[in-house]
Structure 1
């Protein structure tokens, strides 16, 4: 049976070159371009045989980690059908473990895997010329291939189980933004380095960290053995990754063969937008509804647009007051994080009378609170992930990166946590749906000012220790930068969890008063 499946796999690969002339031409052109890219990559690696081990490690590990990550992301991004889907072989009556092993071996017979094999072998040969033991190069080639194949298998299995029915334009947009979040900071980091004939220290530190990850450990193994640093940790990660992926693959095959696909009607496949993307849970429903009105309601769009404008305006008086430009560069991103966390402090008021759906359905308060935060999180994470490295690059000291991350995470998450309480405890009237976002109703009390001040000042107060450690890091204390990072993450997560819990409980108890407010405002 294993030999039969392997013959089928070879026949499928050859069958890709048959069919309509246009399809054959596109496939042939794609293969030629891929072969040219692989040849260029191998030639580039060979030309580095006289480079220092540090320089070659930087190229091999970063490039190899990107390739390995591509095997995990490609099935999710493209959404293409898996020709080795275990469901196709369910009628053969094979046990899950033998079938998973056969499919994993068959997965090695693919053009991308052959391309990775060529690059990995070339990398091992160059490491050998740099006096790394040849046996470790061969061992790393095997680990690289197995890791890439199992990553693709696991990613395709997860895609077939959860994403095939929910493939949509919205999901593609989220994935594109996710890739942008990863690519832009890396490009900014590399562009900001000072190359003076040697590998920059910052890049070597990034490569060292990458060698401890599942994506870069197998590629880094020969260089680590050659240098004799952190051999045990890198070996553990490099060997443990395919073992963990293999166990996950066997478990997924068992799950797939023991469950049936939920039939999907034509109506369910189209027209639901974000409801096709989010999970079919109360939290997912609230998140989908919130995403719809955050992307279409002018009142929310205006609030979002004002945030970067307000952050940019702060730069002018600081520069006019004589504050050095490298310090001013660090100011806008924390302000953006502060306002992003502050945004949902009155989100219930924007629902108007539509909030009755949440109350009448007996929705759990935490589901309402979490679902309403999803649009802000999807907006804030890319903005901060892109803005933080840009700000640090203009500042000129990458040692400030941990402190900046800690400050922004604390301000953002603390703001979200306090907003989750404020929006149910003290909502205030806003412009009604369809009205101009610049038209504000008259308010008889000070609830609006109190609600805004509570979130804004409370966020700053809770983040004060993180801001203090970041200030010390700005004076050159590297240890304070690490403290700011972990303290910011810890404080932000705790405040967010408490805010969601408290806000959810208040939402359930004050349902009637919230409805009265919606009817009266």
Structure 2
């Protein structure tokens, strides 16, 4: 059976070279480009034979972890059909266990996997020249390849089960933003290091941490054996445990696929629903999808978001004029951005105008409305802060303050969102109507607008005082206070956000008639 599956896989691979001449030329060009990339990467690995152990370890661990992450994420983003989908073999009556093993083995017959095997072999040869035992180098290469194979299979199976009917450009955009959130901070960290002909200490420490994760443990195994500063036993245990967990998960997914009917292709026509096809099929998901569409198309939201970074940067001008050191000024804008992002939804309900009646008359729970309205600002704020925080720390020059900065920004942002969830339902005030100029402000008959704005802004600052204080102590006295700032800020922020959503939902339920009157009067 395994031989039959492998033969089918070879036939599918060779089938890519058949067809129209233009198609064949494109495939051949792609194969040549892939081969060139593999040769360049393999030569780079082999050139590390005479390098220091630390240099070889850092390059191997980071490159291996990046490759492993790619095999995990690519199936979720690509959206292509899996030629080895276990459901294609359902009619042959093969047991789930043997079928899972056969499909995983046949997965090696593909261009990405062949490139991975070549790179793993180059890494094994390089570590052999570095003094690592041949057996350890070979085992490391095998475990690394098996981990990537299982990650790819698990990703493809999960996509087939849960994402096929919702695969769209919106979902792919979310994944790409997630990759951006990871890649940009890492790039900023690398660019800020001072190499001076050797591997920076911070980079070596980061590689040591990555060697104790499922992404880098297998690749780091030869380095851990060679170096006395690394824990070879822990890396080996994590690498083996990763394979066992992925193997069990893959076996369970195969069994689930064989007992689940494949969704009809016609379901993919729902892709025209855009964000509604991506969001969860519940009340909060519907509100989130509608809010994302509003944020993307309504100029009033765009103006609010664009003002935030400019307002934060303006605060640096008086500080610079006053003679505050540039290293300290660099830390100021990002927390202000986090505060304003948390403050922005404080009147989100008013921007709906009369459309809010959909939420009221449908009997939607207030909590669902509160959660759904926060999704767009989270999708905007998280990537912005993920890029801004490392940039600020890089300009400051002390990466040890990174946890404190994350804690402060998280506390300000989450606290603002929680209080905004209350203010939006309790004290909405008139804004420019849909289609009007974003800078046109209607007349207000009361002071509720000022009260709501102050409540959110000052409340978020008040709840963030502990995190701000710990971060200040980390900056001026002992950097060890950065950790309390991180966990304290996250804890306080999440608590305020949860309580704010619950209270705001209760207020929304109680004030349904008043909200309708406000929408009609606006």
Q: State yes or no: 1:244 paired with 2:245.
A: yes
- The Cα of 1:232 is off from its aligned counterpart by 3.0
Partner of residue 255, structure 1: 256
- The Cα of 1:264 is off from its aligned counterpart by 5.6
Partner of residue 362, structure 2: 361
- The Cα of 1:355 is off from its aligned counterpart by 0.7
Partners of 1:463 and 1:219 in 2: CA distance:
41
Contact 2:165–2:267 (8 Å) recurs in 1: no
Q: How does 1:21-32 map to 2 (within 5 A)?
A: 21-32=21-32
Partner of residue 222, structure 1: 222
Tell me the SS of whatever aligns to 1:271: helix
Partner of residue 60, structure 1: 60
Partners of 1:478 and 1:315 in 2: CA distance:
24
Contact 2:407–2:489 (8 Å) recurs in 1: yes
Partner of residue 133, structure 1: 133
Partners of 2:105 and 2:321 in 1: CA distance:
65
Partner of residue 304, structure 1: 305
Tell me the SS of whatever aligns to 2:28: helix
Partners of 2:268 and 2:114 in 1: CA distance:
41
Contact 2:166–2:271 (8 Å) recurs in 1: no
Q: How does 1:114-129 map to 2 (within 5 A)?
A: 114-129=114-129
- The Cα of 1:388 is off from its aligned counterpart by 0.7
Partners of 2:14 and 2:262 in 1: CA distance:
30
Contact 2:422–2:500 (8 Å) recurs in 1: yes
Per-residue Cα deviation, 1:158-182 (whole angstroms, up to 9, x for no partner): 1122222223222232222222222
Per-residue Cα deviation, 1:426-473 (whole angstroms, up to 9, x for no partner): 111111112211111222221111111111111111111100111111
TM-score (norm 2): 0.97
Q: How does 1:83-482 map to 2 (within 5 A)?
A: 83-228=83-228, 229-263=230-264, 265=266, 268-482=269-483
TM-score (norm 1): 0.97
Alignment coverage as a number of residue pairs: 521
Partners of 1:257 and 1:426 in 2: CA distance:
53
Per-residue Cα deviation, 1:16-67 (whole angstroms, up to 9, x for no partner): 1122111111111111111111111111111111111111111000011111
Per-residue Cα deviation, 1:310-336 (whole angstroms, up to 9, x for no partner): 011111111111111111111111100
Partners of 2:10 and 2:161 in 1: CA distance:
26
Partners of 2:263 and 2:281 in 1: CA distance:
13
Q: Which moved more, 1:17-26 or 1:459-468?
A: 17-26
Partners of 1:421 and 1:484 in 2: CA distance:
26
Partners of 2:86 and 2:33 in 1: CA distance:
31
Unaligned runs of 5+ in 2: none
Per-residue Cα deviation, 1:329-361 (whole angstroms, up to 9, x for no partner): 111111000000111111111111111111111
Unaligned runs of 5+ in 1: none
Partners of 1:424 and 1:208 in 2: CA distance:
48
Partners of 1:491 and 1:234 in 2: CA distance:
34
Partners of 1:230 and 1:460 in 2: CA distance:
43
- The Cα of 1:488 is off from its aligned counterpart by 1.2
Q: Which runs of 4+ in 1 moved over 4 A?
A: none
